[in-house]
Amino acid sequence: MPPKRPPELPEQIAATLADQGWCVTDDFLPPLLVCQLRQEAQQLWQAGGFRRAGVGRGVELRVRDAVRTDRVAWLDPSALSAAQRLYWTQLEQLRLAVNQMLFLGLYELEAHLAVYPPGTYFRKHLDQFRGLGARTLSCVLYLNDDWLEQDGGALRIYTGPEAPECSVAVLPKGGRLVSFFSARFLHEVEPAQRERFSLTGWFKRRSAQHQ
Ligand SMILES: O=C(O)CCC(=O)C(=O)O
Ligand SMILES: [Fe+2]
C-alpha cells in the first residue's frame, strides 16, 4: 500500500514556499491516480489532441522553436475527467493553504497537459508573460513511470537572482509536484531521452490590473 498522504501536506508546501519560494513534493497524488492521469494523457497524445506550445499571449502568441518544442493540451475546467477533477481538488487545497499563510489572493487555476517527445525542451524562462503579471504560483505535476537520471528531461530551477549559477535539477518522477513563484525563478526543461508527460498549472492572482 502506498503511504497515506498526510492531511497537512498543503500547509507544509505553503510553509516551504514562504521560506524558500520553491518546493518539491513527492507523492503529491497517489500512484493509482497518477497512473490514470498518465494513461489519459497518453491516449490524448496518440489521438492527436496536443498542439505545439506557443510563447506569449493573444496577438503576441508565437510558436518559437528557439524557446520551446513541447506540445500541450489545455484542460477545460468544465470538462475534466474524474482523475483530473481529483487533481484539481488537491490543487484547490494548496491554493487555500497558500492564501491563508501568504495572503496572496490566488483565485484561479489554469492548467495544461504537456508532452515533451524525445529531444524536445523548454529553454530558460519565467512563467509570466511580458506585461501580464497575473500568473503567481507555478505547479508542475509529473506523470512519468520509473524515470531515471539517464532519461534526462530534468527541470532546472535557478534558485537565486543573487547567485544565477546556483540551480537545482528536478527529475520528472511520477507523483512529484514542483511548485514555485512564477515571477521569481528562471527555469528550463532539459531535453529528455523518452516521452515526458506532465500536468502544469498556474494560479493567478487578483489585482486591479487584471480584473
Ligand atoms: O515541465 C516542467 O518541468 C516545466 C514546464 C514549464 O516550465 C512551463 O510549462 O512553463
Ligand atoms: Fe515554465
Decide if 181 is inside a domain: yes
Decide if 4 is inside a domain: no
Q: Residue 166 corresponds to which amino acid?
A: C
Interface predicted TM-score of the whole assembly (ipTM), two decimals: 0.99
Rounded mean pLDDT, 33-52: 97
CATH number at residue 90: 2.60.120.620
Q: How confident is the model at residue 55 (pLDDT cuts 50, 70, 90)?
A: low
Closest atom, ligand 1, to C-alpha of 53 = 9
- For residues 20 and 201, give the distance between their C-alpha atoms in angstroms, rounded to a whole number: 20
Decide if 105 is inside a domain: yes
Cβ of residue 70 lying under 6 Å from some atom of ligand 1: no
Domain that holds residue 22: 9-210
- Could you read off the pLDDT of 155-179 as tens digits, one per residue? 999 997 666 679 999 999 999 999 9
Number of structural domains in the chain: 1
Q: How far is the CA of 43 from the centre of ligand 2 (A)?
A: 24
Cβ of residue 127 lying under 6 Å from some atom of ligand 1: yes
Decide if 1 is inside a domain: no
pLDDT-wise least confident of 6-10, 59-63, 66-70, 141-145: 59-63
**Among the listed residues 188, 85, 102, 176, the one whose alpha carbon sits nearest the alpha carbon of residue 137:** 102
**Among the listed residues 127, 143, 136, the one whose alpha carbon sits nearest the alpha carbon of residue 177:** 143
Closest atom, ligand 1, to C-alpha of 112 = 9
Q: How far is the CA of 37 from the centre of ligand 1 (A)?
A: 17
The most distant pair of C-alpha atoms in the chain lies apart, rounded to whole Å, by 49
Q: Which residue of 198, 199, 202, 203 sits with most ligand 1 atoms within 8 Å of its CB, as the best mutation to test the pocket?
A: 198
Cβ of residue 196 lying under 6 Å from some atom of ligand 1: no
Decide if 24 is inside a domain: yes
Which residue reads 512563467 in cell numbers?
A: 127
Q: How far is the CA of 132 from the centre of ligand 1 (A)?
A: 18
